[in-house]
Amino acid sequence: MSYCLNPACPSPQNITHAEICRACGSKLLLRKRYRVLDALGQGGFGATFLAHDESLPGEPSCVIKQLRPATTVAQVLQMARELFEREARTLGKIGNHPQVPRLLDYFEDNQQFYLVQEYISGLTLQQEVKGSGPLSEAGVKQFLSEILPVMQYIHSQQVIHRDIKPANLIRREQDRKLVLIDFGAVKNQVNQAASSSEQTALTAYAIGTPGFAPPEQMAMRPVYASDLYALGVTCIYLLTGKSPKDLDYNPTTGEMLWQKHVHISPHFTDVLKKMLEVSVRHRYQSAEEVLRALDLEPYLDTLAQGLTTGKATPQRQPGGRFNTGDLSAPTYSSSPSAGTSTSERLAMAIKARRARLEANDPQTGGGIHSRALPGTGYTTTLKNSDATAGSKGKLPAKLDAVSVLNYYTKGRRDFASQDLSLLNLQRVNLSGAIFHQAKLNKTNLQGADLSNADFGRASLTGAILKEANLGRAYFSTANLEGADLRGADLSFAYLNHANLRGANLCGANLTGAKITEEQLAQAKTNWATVLPSGKRGFW
């Protein structure tokens, strides 16, 4: 089918290869290359259409947005044109991000203004929630882990979206990533005072969606934190399936009364409360602050960098839709269930941090051989010099951190039964070392390379092992009570019979690790914990 873009056309639908509209006589091939197939949506200032670009091989799909103000008032027409041009400039500026549609073309034709965008195949979060129901706490956190770095990026470009809502988030069918759409309401001159005419026009059409927009945005004073408020409202919808208009508000403070409708942890409740603060000064000020509050700090850099590379080529899929959002009327929706891409990205983030740490660690020479750990099938990697290092003199009863590193650099790996409690050994390389029955209570080993190390029967109560590389380490019957293992790489580690009571495994990578359900039940895990199966979430 060919679709006529003449706003006054009484019957815009035509046969597939028609050149001239049979109803009004308008040309159907826009700019001699774009053939419009169907209407997708109508907003306050523009209408959007699905089209094919016949000038390119394969005639790829694209989205055409036509400026169509809902009024003929001169003042509003001028504002509509300015916003349309602003959207084009914004997409041209930030459209190189893989989760923002690319701007393909922008032009005037027959006194009509057009914007051509990348086509995104998939369902909006609104459509997904309506089809699948509300999400769990873990599902909403997964949603935040993916969209917050996108917001971090657009804010770094001095852009405030001003219309964050489920209908403006599409789960791209090709790679399951979220794509943020509809930049028609953006503000890219932050804190600039608005004129009285701008207030009048924007108040009527483009301040965002009622219920999602915070008070300062409704008062024409949006800031970056305004997008975080709208994101918080989106989270409430994802958890409850209720749109803002269906929730009560405190008549004195204006706060949304949502807590009685959700069943989430106290910590996540506190995060959402701060995102939804009516007073902007008490709200989170940046996407990075929210990521930190969600205990995603170990992955901030890698998430942000990973989401700005590797743009996928869009393809049209049957039933796929591109939703432009509606600036004149509120729409509501939610987020999908967890996919594997975010889990893989978190695991990759852990590995990337490990690699950066290893690049700064001291390197030692010598050949390598392995010592078998009885009854496990695991081995501990040792330098050739270790075969004799253990018998070359007795170690002092108490070692300090410098002594440990000196002995290790000289080839010694056997620190069995040593008291190494309270030492500061951050980011050191002690891979393959033997700490059998050693005391490492409250020892700071954050970011250390302890891969293939032997901690059998060792005491590590309260030890700081955050972000440490513990891949294939041996912990049989070790005491890890209260240890901080957040973000640690425990892939293929042997943890059977280890005491994990109160150990913090939030964000840890346990892929392939030998560990029981009972042990994990005693530890603290969260939605970012990669379980032995390779899946992410609570046990």
User: What does the pLDDT look like over 403-419, one tens digit per residue?
Assistant: 999 999 888 888 999 99
Residue 311 has pLDDT above 60, yes or no: no
DSSP conformation letters of 473-501: -B-TT-B-TT-B-TT-B-TT-B-TT-B-T
Confidence at residue 415, expressed as pLDDT on a 0 to 100 scale: 92
Residue 270 has pLDDT above 90, yes or no: yes
Matching residue, tokens 């902007």: 280
Give the CATH architecture of domain 122-339.
Orthogonal Bundle (1.10)
For the segment 27-41, the average pLDDT, to the nearest whole number, is 91
Confidence at residue 288, expressed as pLDDT on a 0 to 100 scale: 92
CA distances from 424 to 291, 410, 432, 444, 534 (A): 28, 20, 19, 5, 32
Q: What is the mean pLDDT of the chain?
A: 79
Q: How far apart are CA 265 and CA 137, in angstroms?
A: 8
Nearest to residue 102, comparing CAs of 329, 340, 335, 322?
322
For the segment 199-210, the average pLDDT, to the nearest whole number, is 52
Give the residue extent of every domain in the chain: 2-118, 122-339, 340-539
Tell me the per-residue pLDDT of 449-497, one tens digit each, with 9 for 90 and over: 999 899 989 999 999 999 999 998 999 889 999 999 999 999 989 998 8
More confident residue, 235 or 352: 235
Residue 329 has pLDDT above 90, yes or no: no
* Alpha helical stretches, state H, 334-472: 341-359, 386-389, 401-409
Given a contact cutoff of 8 angstroms between Cβ atoms, the answer to whether 48 and 41 are in contact is yes
Residue 346 has pLDDT above 60, yes or no: no
For the segment 294-317, the average pLDDT, to the nearest whole number, is 44
Residue 335 has pLDDT above 60, yes or no: no
Q: How far apart are CA 182 and CA 204, in angstroms?
A: 18
How many CB atoms within 10 Å of residue 107?
12
Tell me the per-residue pLDDT of 44-96, one tens digit each, with 9 for 90 and over: 667 889 999 999 999 999 999 888 766 666 776 777 777 778 778 888 888 78
For the segment 237-248, the average pLDDT, to the nearest whole number, is 93
Residue 394's Cβ-count burial label (10 Å; 0-12, 13-18, 19+) is exposed
Q: How far apart are CA 300 and CA 153, in angstroms?
A: 12
- 469 has which bridge partners? 449, 489
List 53, 163, 182, 489, catalytic entry: 163
Confidence at residue 241, expressed as pLDDT on a 0 to 100 scale: 92
**Residue 33 parent element (H or E):** none
The CATH number of domain 2-118 is 3.30.200.20? yes
295 catalytic? Reply is no
Our separate counts of H helices and E strands in the chain read 13, 15
Residue 189 has pLDDT above 80, yes or no: no
pTM of the complete model: 0.55
Confidence at residue 394, expressed as pLDDT on a 0 to 100 scale: 73
State yes or no: 439 annotated in a binding site: no
Confidence at residue 317, expressed as pLDDT on a 0 to 100 scale: 35
**pLDDT-wise least confident of 229-233, 335-339, 484-488, 498-502:** 335-339
For residue 415, the number of C-alpha atoms closer than 13 Å in the C-beta half-sphere is 30
Residue 356 has pLDDT above 60, yes or no: no
Instruction: Name the DSSP class of 189.
Output: S
Given a contact cutoff of 8 angstroms between Cβ atoms, the answer to whether 398 and 421 are in contact is no
Q: pLDDT confidence of 109, banded at 50, 70, 90?
A: confident
Confidence at residue 167, expressed as pLDDT on a 0 to 100 scale: 92
For the segment 116-132, the average pLDDT, to the nearest whole number, is 92
Given a contact cutoff of 8 angstroms between Cβ atoms, the answer to whether 394 and 347 are in contact is no
Given a contact cutoff of 8 angstroms between Cβ atoms, the answer to whether 295 and 486 are in contact is yes
CA distances from 95 to 163, 182, 455 (A): 17, 12, 50
Question: What is the assigned CATH class of domain 340-539?
Answer: mainly beta
